[in-house]
Amino acid sequence: MNENRKQLIHLTVNGEVQSVAVESHWTLSRVLRNDCGHTGLKEACGEGACGACTVLIDGVAVPSCMVLAVEQEGKSIETVEGLSKNGVLHPIQEAWLEEYGAQCGFCSPGMIMSTKALLAKNPDPTEDEIKEALGGNICICNNYEHIINAVRSAAKKMREKA
Amino acid sequence: MAELTAIGKSVRQKDGRARVTGEAKYYADFILPGMLQIRILRSPLPAATILSMDTAEAEAYPGVHLVMTHLNFPKAFRKELYYVGDLVAAVVADDETIAEEAMHLIKVEYEKKKPILNMDDAMKDGARQVFDGVDNIQDWPFHAFLSDKDPETGLYKTKTPSDYNGFGDIEKGFAEADYIIEQNHLKYAYCKSPAMEPRGCSADFDGNRLQVYTHSQGMHDEKLCLAQALGIPSSMVNYNAPYTGSSFGGKNAFPLDPNIASHYLVVAGFACLELRKPVHCPYSREEEMVSGWSRGSDTYVKIGFKKDGTLTTMDMIHRQETGAGGDKYPAKNAMLATGAVLYSHNCRHLRGKIQNVNTNRYPAAGWQGYGAPEGMFAVETTMDMAAYELGIDPVELRKMNCMRAGDIDAGWDPLSYISAIISSSGIRDCLDAGAEALDWKNTWRHPSEKTGRIRHGMGVAIFAMGAGRPGPGNSSEAMVKIYPDGSAALVCAVADIGQGQHTVQCQIVAEVLGLPYKKVGMVCHDTDSTPFATLVSNSCGTWIQGWATYEAALDAKQRLLKLAAAHMGVKAEELDMNEKGIFMTAAPDKGCTFAEAFGTRGHYGGLHEVTGYYVNNSPHPHGIHNGKPDEIYIPKEKGAQFISLDVDTETGMILNARVTMAQNVGKALNPKIVAGQLCTSRHGVDNAMLGNECVADKRNGWLMTANWVDYRHCTAMDCDVDPIVIEKPGDPTHPFGATACGEGAACPTLAAFSNAIYNAIGVRIIETPYTPERILRGLGKIEDKRRKK
Amino acid sequence: MRRFNHFNASTMENAVSLLNESEGPAYVIAGGSDLMGCLKDNLWIEAPERVVNLKTIPGLKYILVEDGDLHLGALATLTEIAESDTVKLQWPGLAEAARRTASPLLRNMGTIAGNICQENRCWYFRYPDKIGGRIDCVRKGGKRCLAVPGDHRFHSIFGAVNKCIAVNPSDTAPALVVLDATVKTTKREIPIDEFFTAEMGAQSTVLDRDEIVTEIVVPAPQAGPNSAFRKIAYRKSIDFALVNCAAALVIRDGKVESARICLNAVYNNPRRCEASEELLKGRELTEELAQEAGRLAVAEAKPLLQNGFKVQMAKTIVSDTLMDCI
Ligand SMILES: Cc1cc2nc3c(=O)[nH]c(=O)nc-3n(C[C@H](O)[C@H](O)[C@H](O)COP(=O)(O)OP(=O)(O)OC[C@H]3O[C@@H](n4cnc5c(N)ncnc54)[C@H](O)[C@@H]3O)c2cc1C
Ligand code: SF4
Ligand code: FES
Ligand code: FES
């Protein structure tokens, strides 16, 4: 019954072009999770205050729960699911495993995407720069010590690879 | 013990890969075809009766499948409403927008009642009863007086019901004391029991089985309750809870109690059974915020000392808010802070009274410590006052008096035992380690020596917390399977809510079987596939499930060795196993492969798995002293926490807060997991310095802090934690000498903070949170004379 | 969230006519970091009928210096402003204000125009409809203010405007005020001192319903880049100010020639500290003088029962911010 309210948009999600019919008030997080099958993305506060839903839109980290899907026509979106390629983990994910970056793991998809944006801009961040860059991502398990180590170790791995 | 290969190593998280790739399925990630959405209409009033409801318009709204109220689903909804946000009705619709739109079409007529919105009002003479016929203040119904001390073991032999917990004669104790330190109205604010993932569930019914998808701290307990609440046989329900997006006690679901915050299960369960369609009932953050609060206490403490600082006598009255019901007795752990446990070494006379108080605020739930942080807050600030008054270093005063191994736990949990022997302590080591890390001896200064605008302060507090409880109901089972390819699987239901249980349990299996950790798999998806495990509360996983896992692995190993012995024509006792197969202990080059032991030839013939099984009805035999069942050991979480901070005396802000958290864990089964657990001290930091409390509008009962903007949790930038893990002395009640680690970290923080603030500015604040308002007022810097509270 | 109609504007004129054509309330959306929260909580008495997207209008996302003046396109994000070397060098108070706003994620989406047009954060005003229903207070067109008799620990210490004691929560507003910015709109140029008002119902600015900010112009510093911003908040990130303050000084020959000081989160509108500004004129800025300026800044404070602490904070932050300027 609501088909008539829907609008078709085209997104590139993790490199794959998708066409989705969305209602104007749907958030990007809702559409990615429910309509594009990217449930790796989490929603925890729904109001921009925790970063669990962080995705990269054209390379910029934003909370997808605060973004309208209709406004994303033609955008390129990266979620945590896009990081590993053919079962090979991204260095950030590897670092997360080594350093025990996840406790319950509910903040991890968002933290990892914020980390990706940080390291793209700043390949060798200091501890304070890491803390500041993750300043929009809450971890209720309070696993920040391990998370900061994981970001450091990921940075190192990525510098070595580059 | 032979050198450990898996235990004590920071192996990778068992299901870590799924968590970092996004493949891990938390409940909301089960998106079932044709799933309907449930939205809940919530009470605008804190206390009211529903007089009438008109749902016709909502029912007729296109896309709506069902409107649920107390009229058609009396087991899921009530006519009486007890808090703003209480459940009024639910709409099941094609999508969430339709459900929301229809929800607003429901017309409800309420009769308002006068709400009780704080503990003081609830306790006033003649106050309206929150629940008709139930006193607003209730005594803990299991108070008991202990007497008849066995001179040899120190254990008490007699337990008499009483109106308080205790032993000795406090009148006498105080009469003989040289110093008496007393504080009243120590108030730990009512705070939100947090979780990253808001609560909720999905349900699917195929006419035969009801599949429930949710998060859990104990899926079997929850399933049994849910089946009973829905009035269907337990065998009909399969409870799927493969991942939980954290829970610190708050998400323990108990659907049988209408006051507890697990209505989503009952609402979704009934909707699904009625419609025979999959349904999804997620709580938004705002709904989560009106479900499951904790802390919230008002405590009186009086402690008697000898001149030399020996603590002899203690009195405590601890009142705890339980809001509009919910978890009934979250307060009893406050007793852990008293001479019953934490100060059991010298305390000879004790009285401790526990009460809970109902209000029309949001229902209470458990949270990390379950009363212990409130008790520690009250007692450890009072101990700090004592240290200053007696002129004894705060660290030393604690070292003199804190519990030691062999002291008697006298009544922390009088349900299941009279008294018990504390199996290990190490608090004094923790005090030393923390003090050394901060160079306490050289840098500690009396507040009177502090000058300038920014003043530095250091505070300490110690703690003891349960680490699993012996006694009925606290049982867990495990099944360990060994396969012919030399891999193994642990099948059990212990919940991994972020605390690392799945990893640690697999480490135990790997250690016992001599297999690499990687070859041990974990099966813990739902109730259908697993045997019973008690819920993970009281940080009991390592202890209760740990024993079950250990014994099941041993059992499996014995069975396999027997098979190998038969194959090799030797005695099983002569054999051992490792990654490569089975070998003779005396001649490691002689042995057989797994396949040979199993006798398998491909799929034909032989055995395909060997299964070990154990049910641990705690206490495990190792938890019994001298083989006498009435002399049991009880393990504890324990340690010391130090806070170092600066106070800006002009703004009242706390700056540069740093936590040093030292805990004796006996044995760190996985050091990184343990360090991560110690960092949960930040939950205390949230409550101390981020201004968090339950702000309910004093006339209307609205929750003003119903989101994560107005209710704050630490970011990476706000506070650092230095974990110090101490591993001695190994605890005798655990196969690897471990105790527990999890809830302890949040217990001492509020006291240590208050003590550090006092140390910085000479102002003692005994009401949380430590807001700039309270600090500036303490410093005499708020001029407004009109203000009163 | 309720349904609404969404339009992508192609030009400013198009955006204005889309607003004008709307039958019910219409809002423009820039980054959306504030508007989305309002939509999700369904907090207005009349739900928005349409939302008009400005991000599809080309050429609004710039940071330029022309003749020494700073030109900020309406869609310039807070991240871009905070990280701009020019802004950091010439207008440090503004760069710092942007850097201290919200969180890195929100600064990536939040725009400068959205920041100064955001709705207030009074917790009664923002009460979500999901847990018992919206609260219709005076500011929304209802009858009463709930904060005065209720919990107002974070509210105004300088009295009410039209019975409302909500504070303006913006971090960049005080910085733009002390830098004497001009707000250019589709209709006019508004000096920043006249831009904010709590007189017009829910919104916090003088903008007409169909008026859109196109650019913000900040004049070149007269003597040197002597501006600063400070914020007191519980958290270092994701947190609104308990009190914030910006100051900009013109210093010649070691003396303050003129000063602009602005407190925010203390009153409905950003609040210039005129008496303190006067005090500084012609004098050398010392610690003592800064403290005196702080005292003067709160001389007229009228704290309520619960928020006296903000007076002390405001006093202190004024003197601290002044000292940061040199
Ligand atoms: C968790 C959280 C924390 C936050 N913390 C802070 C903080 O610390 N400090 C702070 O200042 N803010 C904070 N904010 C508010 C917000 O993120 C910022 O104010 C941001 O700059 C708003 O910009 P935007 O582009 O996202 O605005 P939008 O949400 O797009 O718009 C906000 C309002 O301005 C109007 N508007 C937008 N652009 C224009 C224009 N060009 N002309 C006319 N009207 C316009 C919109 O109609 C809307 O009413 C926070 C928000 C959240 C969710
Ligand atoms: S302070 Fe203003 S916004 Fe808040 S309740 Fe009062 S009138 Fe409404
Ligand atoms: S869920 Fe989007 S920021 Fe919290
Ligand atoms: S790991 Fe649980 S929220 Fe971060």
Between the CA of A107 and the centroid of ligand 4 the distance, in Å, is 5
Match 């915050």 to its residue by tokens.
B261
pLDDT above 60 (res B131) = yes
Atom 4 of ligand 4 has which residue's CA nearest to it?
A139
Which DSSP letter does residue B363 get?
A: P
Q: Which of B153, B653, B648, B162 is nearest to B422 (CA)?
A: B153
Mutate to test the interface with B, among A99, A103, A108, A153 (most CBs of B within 10 A): A103
**Where residue B784 falls among pLDDT bands split at 50, 70, 90?**
low
Residues with CB under 6 A from ligand 4: A 102-107, 139-141, 143; B 196, 246, 498
Residues A45 and A67 in one domain: yes
Q: Tell me if chain C has a CB within 8 Å of the CB of A60.
A: yes
**Token pair of B560, please?**
């396999």
A96 contact residues in B (CB cutoff 8 A): 16, 20
Report whether residue C9 contacts ligand 1, using a CB cutoff of 6 Å. Answer: no
Task: Say if residue A98 is in the same domain as residue A76.
Answer: no
Burial call C193-226: b when 16+ CB within 10 Å, e when fewer: eebbebeeebbbbbbeebbbbbbbbbeebeeebb
Residue nearest to atom 10 of ligand 1 (CA): C170
Residue C272 is predicted with a pLDDT of 98
Considering the domain architecture, whether residues A13 and A43 belong to the same structural domain is answered as yes
Evaluate whether B563 touches B610 at the Cβ level (below 8 Å).
yes
Q: How far apart are CA C51 and CA C36, in angstroms?
A: 10
CA–CA gap between residue B556 and residue B487 (Å, rounded): 12
The model's pTM is 0.97
Q: Cα–Cα distance between B656 and B664 in angstroms, integer?
A: 26
Query: Quick one: pLDDT band at residue B329, thresholds 50, 70, 90?
Result: low
Residue-wise pLDDT tens digits, A93-130? 999 999 999 999 999 999 999 999 999 999 999 999 99
Quick: pLDDT tens for B222-270.
999 999 999 999 999 999 999 999 999 888 888 888 777 789 999 999 9
CA angle (B617 as vertex; B515, B329 as ends), nearest 5 = 120
Atom of ligand 3 nearest to the CA of A50: 4
Q: How much distance in Å is there from the Cα of B430 to the middle of ligand 1? A: 48
Bridging pattern class, strands A76-78 and A7-13: parallel
Residue B624 confidence (pLDDT): 85
DSSP A98-125: HTT--SS-SSHHHHHHHHHHHHHH-SS-
Report the nearest atom of ligand 2 relative to the CA of C140. 8
How are the residues of chain A apportioned to helix, strand and coil, as percentages rounded to the nearest 5?
40, 20, 40
Q: Which residues in B lie closer than 8 A to residue A157 (C-beta atoms)?
A: none
Measured distance CA(C41)–CA(C303) in Å, rounded: 29
Residue among A33, A43, A67 whose CB has most ligand 3 atoms within 8 A, to mutate: A43
Query: Any chain B CB within 8 A of the CB of C46?
Result: no
Chain C touched by B454 (CB under 8 Å): no
Domains, in order of start, for chain B = 16-23+472-618 (3.30.365.10), 31-113+194-289 (3.90.1170.50), 144-191+293-469+633-778 (3.30.365.10)
Task: Report pLDDT for B539.
Answer: 72
One domain, residues A58 and A14: yes
CA atoms of B657 and B752, how far apart (whole Å): 11
Spatial distance between the Cα atoms of A34 and B30, rounded to a whole number of angstroms: 10
Q: Quick check: is A114 in a domain?
A: yes
Location of structure tokens 């419609």: B275
Q: Examine residue A146 and state whether it is found in any structural domain, yes or no.
A: yes
pLDDT tens digit string along B47-105?
A: 999 999 999 999 999 999 999 999 999 999 999 999 999 999 999 999 999 999 999 99
Axis crossing angle, helix B546-568 with helix B501-513, rounded to the nearest 10: 30
Question: What is the number of the ligand 2 atom nearest to the C-alpha of C125?
Answer: 3
Q: Which residue has the higher pLDDT, C313 or B467?
A: C313
Asked if B312 and B176 count as a contact pair (C-beta separation under 8 A), the reply is yes
Please tell me whether residues A58 and A126 are part of one structural domain: no
Which residues, including other chains, have CB under 8 Å from residue B559's CB and lie 6 or more apart? B610, B611, B612
Give B477's strand partners: B615
**Contact B707/A49, CB-based, under 8 Å?**
yes
Residue B633 pLDDT: 87
> Max Cα separation, chain A?
54
- Give the gyration radius of chain B's Cα atoms: 27
The distance between the two most distant Cα atoms of chain B, rounded to a whole number of Å, is 92
B338 alpha carbon – ligand 1 mean position (Å): 50
* A44 CA closest ligand 3 atom index: 1
3-class DSSP state of B553: helix
- Report CA Rg, chain A: 16
Q: Tokens for C326, please give them.
A: 């040199």
Instruction: Catalogue the E-assigned strands of B253-334.
Output: 279-282, 293-305, 311-323
Helix (H) or strand (E) holding B386: helix B372-390
Min distance B246 CA to chain C CA atoms (Å)? 21
Domain match, A59 and A11 both: yes
Residue where one domain finishes, among candidates A50, A82, A114: A82
Model confidence at B543, in pLDDT bands (50, 70, 90)?
A: confident
Binding-face residues of A in 41-100 toward B, CB within 8 A = 41-47, 49-50, 52, 79-81, 83-84, 89, 93, 96-100
Residue contacts between B and C (CB atoms, under 8 Å) = 125
Q: Per-residue pLDDT for B658 more than 50?
A: yes
Dihedrals phi, psi of C35, to nearest 5 degrees:
-60, -40
Gap from A74 CA to chain B (nearest CA, Å): 24
pLDDT recorded at residue B789: 39
Any atom of ligand 1 within 6 Å of the Cβ of A71: no
| Residue A24 domain flag | yes
A37: domain CATH number is 3.10.20.30
Q: Cβ contacts of residue B604 below 8 Å, gap of 6+?
A: none
Residue A98 lies in a domain: yes
Q: Say how many Å lie between the CA of residue A50 and the centre of ligand 3.
A: 5
Contact between B406 and B335 under an 8 Å Cβ cutoff? The reply is no
| A-interface mutation test, from C105, C107, C131, most A Cβ less than 10 A away | C105
Q: Kindly state whether residue A125 falls inside one of the protein's structural domains.
A: yes
**C-alpha B221: how far from chain center:** 16
Please list every protein residue whose CB sits less than 6 Å from any atom of ligand 2: C 120, 122, 124-125, 137-139, 145-147, 155, 164-166
Q: What integer best gives the mean pLDDT of chain B?
A: 93
Selecting from B12, B94, B679 the residue whose C-beta is nearest the C-beta of A144 gives B679
Q: Which residue has the higher pLDDT, B256 or B580?
A: B580
Kindly state the average pLDDT of the residues B524-551: 89
Picking from C1, B492, B303, the residue whose alpha carbon sits closest to that of residue A27 is: C1
By the CB < 8 Å criterion, does A51 face chain C? Answer: yes
8 Å CB contact of A25 and C2: yes
Low-confidence stretches of chain C (pLDDT < 50) are: none
Q: What pLDDT was estimated at residue B570?
A: 96
Is A25 in the same domain as A75?
A: yes
What is the DSSP annotation of C121-149? --TTTT--GGGS----BGGGT-SB-STTT
The pLDDT value recorded for residue A1 is 41
B788 pLDDT tier (thresholds 50, 70, 90): very low
Return d(Cα A66, Cα A87) in angstroms, integer. 31
Which 687-716 residues of chain B touch chain C by CB within 8 A? 689-691, 695, 697-700, 702-710, 712, 714-715
**Are residue A13 and residue A45 in the same domain, yes or no?**
yes
Mutate to test the pocket of ligand 1, among C14, C29, C33 (most ligand atoms within 8 A of CB): C33
Interchain contact B713–A (C-beta under 8 A): yes
Closest Cα in chain C, distance from residue A118 (Å): 10
Alpha helices (runs of H) in B494-568, residue ranges in sequence order: 501-513, 546-568
Residue A55 shares a structural domain with residue A102: no
Beta strands in chain A (DSSP E): 7-13, 16-22, 54-57, 60-63, 76-78
Identify the burial level of B190 via C-beta atoms within 10 angstroms of its C-beta, where 0-12 means exposed, 13-18 middle and 19 or more buried: buried
d(CA C75, CA C32): 11
Domain that includes residue A149, residue range: 91-161
A1, part of any domain: no
Of A61, A82, A103, the one marking the end of a domain is: A82
Judge whether C131 is closer than 8 Å to chain A, CB to CB.
no
User: Average pLDDT in the B189-211 region?
Assistant: 97
Is the minimum distance from the CB of A48 to ligand 1 under 6 angstroms?
yes
Residues A54 and A111 occupy one common structural domain: no
Across-strand partners of C190?
C183
Show which of residues 79-138 on chain C sit within 8 Å of chain B, judged by CB atoms. 103, 121, 123-124, 127-128, 130-133, 135
pLDDT at A4: 65
Q: Do A132 and B717 touch (CB under 8 A)?
A: yes
Question: What per-residue confidence (pLDDT) applies to B257?
Answer: 81
Query: What are the beta bridge partners of residue B723?
Result: B661
**Chain C contact present for B682, CB below 8 A:** no
> Which residues in chain A land under pLDDT 50?
1-3
Q: Does B623 have pLDDT greater than 90?
A: no
What token pair was written down for B96? Answer: 């969430």
The predicted-structure confidence for B348-386, as pLDDT tens digits, reads as follows 999 999 999 999 999 999 899 889 999 999 999 999 999
Q: Domain tally for chain A?
A: 2
DSSP string, C255-287: EEEEEEEEEESSSSS-EE-HHHHHHHTTS---H
Q: Which of A82, A105, A138 is the last residue of a domain?
A: A82
Q: Are residues A104 and A145 in the same domain?
A: yes
Banded pLDDT at B278 (limits 50, 70, 90): very high
Classified as helix, coil or strand, A155 is helix
Give the angle subtended at the CA of B447 by the CAs of B443 and B452, to the nearest 5°.
Answer: 90
Kindly give, in sequence order, each residue whose CB lies less than 8 Å from that of residue B469, ignoring residues fewer than 6 positions away: B413, B416, B538, B540, B618
Count other Cβ atoms within 10 Å, centred on residue A126. Answer: 10
Instruction: List the CATH number of the domain containing A105.
Output: 1.10.150.120
Q: Are residues A126 and A149 in the same domain?
A: yes
Instruction: Report chain B residues whose CB lies below 8 A from the CB of C135.
Output: 702
